[in-house]
Structure 1
């Protein structure tokens, strides 16, 4: 069976390029900051160790990213709400607002891009992207064949 894997690789590369460009300029958040804030927003306060595990990045990279986000008043360090020793990062009010604004711009752009797509196609595309991302996670964890 001839699978169009090369087509998927090419289209995924383009999608990645477009997504990165979407968060540049016009006071949008840098891609790495957007990902960092989005994950903390979704999961709650996280430590460097937890972020390292989630993003599969070394601690020094995350320390640079979180340090820059703190200097921009997007993140703050707080005591672990569960009483652990490690301090955690949480969004500041400013960080939450910047994330909300950046996400709103992203959603508005996607709405325009997909405006002529039937609702069923948009839903199916979302399902396929979710499945693709789950497969990527399994691959990264060494569970995919």
Structure 2
């Protein structure tokens, strides 16, 4: 696959490396700041349920492109830790759904606060325009990846018409 506007192999190689380093920095920052942080899978599952509302294991598996057995194991951990609970489908369907508990909401909010605090430190010497430009580029990158995968990640701004 060739990128438009001459982004060659060397550029893609550097981009891939920088994205790998970005994910590494995020993981390392959490480990140093909060040893009780949510596991990555818990954070992603809770974030999706928080954004979309109660979801069945099947819906979560489809949303993440994972096997239901994998999601079942991950959600079982959420249930054991009291971060999520099973509830009847609010829309009357047969499948039970997972909803975030009060503790799960508290832990998710705390995790997000740490993320934002760390980001604020990283971009402390950036202008507001530079931070917005990075956000816009990352949104575009993620939406392009979502389009290729055929899996859209719902965003709060989708409902508010921000973009």
State the TM-score bracket (shorter-chain normalisation).
Answer: over 0.9
1:108 maps to 117
Decide which of 117, 124, 128 is 2:137's aligned counterpart. 128
**Is 1:61 matched with 2:70?**
yes
Q: What SS does the corresponding residue of 1:86 show, helix, strand or coil?
A: coil
Decide which of 31, 56, 76 is 1:47's aligned counterpart. 56
Pick closer, same or farther for the CA change 1:41–1:22 going to 2, 3 Å. farther
Pick closer, same or farther for the CA change 1:137–1:110 going to 2, 3 Å. same
2:28 maps to 21
Please give the root-mean-square deviation of Cα atoms over the aligned residues, in Å: 1.4
Decide which of 36, 52, 57 is 2:45's aligned counterpart. 36
Which sections of structure 2, spanning at least 5 residues, go unmatched? 1-5, 152-163
CA apart distance, 1:2: 4.7
1:75 maps to 84
Runs in 1 of length 4+ with deviation above 4 angstroms?
none
**Is 1:85 matched with 2:94?**
yes
Q: What SS does the corresponding residue of 2:85 show, helix, strand or coil?
A: strand
Q: What SS does the corresponding residue of 2:24 show, helix, strand or coil?
A: helix
TM-score normalised according to structure 2 size: 0.83
